[in-house]
Structure 1
Amino acid sequence: GEDTILVCSKCNFGANIEKLGEKENCPVCKSKLLKKRAIEVGHIFSLGDKYTLPLKATFKDKDGKEKLILMGCYGIGVGRLMATIVEVWHDSKGIIWPQKVAPFDVHLISIGSLKKLGKEAQRIEKELEGLGLEVLYDDRKVSPGEKLIDADLIGIPWRLVLSEKTLAKNKIEVKRREEERLKFFDLNKIQKLAKILLKEKND
Structure 2
Amino acid sequence: MALTMEAVLQRARPVMPVLVIEDVGLAVDLAAALQAGGVQVLEVTLRTHRALEAVSAISEAFPDLLVGAGTLIHTEQFLEARDAGAHFVVSPGCTQRLAAAAEDAGLPYLPGVMTPSEVLQALEYGYRSLKLFPANGNASVKMLKSLKGPFTGIRFCPTGGITPDNLAGFLRLPNVTCVGGTWIAPDNLIRARAWDQITQLAREAQLLGGDLERPT
Q: Same fold (TM over 0.5)?
A: no
Structure with max Cα Rg: 1
Which structure is higher in strand share?
Answer: 1
| Higher helix content, 1 or 2 | 2
Q: TM-score, normalised by structure 2?
A: 0.29
Q: Which has the higher contact order (CA 8 A, sep 6+)?
A: 2
